[in-house]
Amino acid sequence: MKRSERLSAALHVLVHMAARPDAALTSAEMAAFVGTNPVVIRRGFAGLRQAGIVASAKGHGGGWRLARPPEAITLAEIQHALGERVVALTAFDVPQPTCLILRAVTAALDEAMQEAERALDRRLATLTLADLAAEARRLNAGSGHPHGEFHHGS
């Protein structure tokens, strides 16, 4: 299994946005949260904008905002809008397709992975951006960090 870095970065930025729902964030501010280039943010957030998760405005006072309340945005929607999975469950290769044992093992494992993906999708449909922001606030409160902003620990 491999965790999606693109999805992780988007969720990171979206939690910051949920913490400041009335503030418009620039691509540069968002990029600084995850240590990337603003172009990467704009490119990555295009799918989120098309899905109605975020909105952007150009010019003075412009930037990116959540298009809906964080309580109305599920993690399932976010991963779908980005075309990413929370974790990539890789299919098993059958190096010798004529080997019946390998084919049986592969079929069983593929079925188990598909079942795991369906269970994960059901769970992600119940988790919202507000849930992530609440957990981040809880962890931040316990960090002793004096500022209202989320603290990026080492």
CATH of the domain at 78: 1.10.10.10
Average pLDDT in the chain? 85
Would residue 54 count as lying in a domain?
yes
Would residue 136 count as lying in a domain?
yes
Task: Give 74-101 pLDDT, tens digit per residue.
Answer: 999 999 999 877 665 656 666 666 788 8
Number of domains in the chain: 1
Give the model's pLDDT for residue 144. Answer: 66
Domain range holding 69?
2-89+128-141
Say whether pLDDT at 48 is over 60: yes
Q: How far apart are CA 54 and CA 38, in angstroms?
A: 16
Would residue 153 count as lying in a domain?
no
Task: Give 110-144 pLDDT, tens digit per residue.
Answer: 888 888 888 999 999 999 999 999 999 888 887 76
Would residue 105 count as lying in a domain?
no
Whether the pTM exceeds 0.75: the reply is yes
Would residue 33 count as lying in a domain?
yes
Residues whose CB falls within 8 Å of the CB of residue 18, separated by 6 or more in sequence, listed in order = 66, 70, 129, 130, 132, 133
Rounded to 10 deg, the angle between the 5-19 and 38-50 helix axes is 80
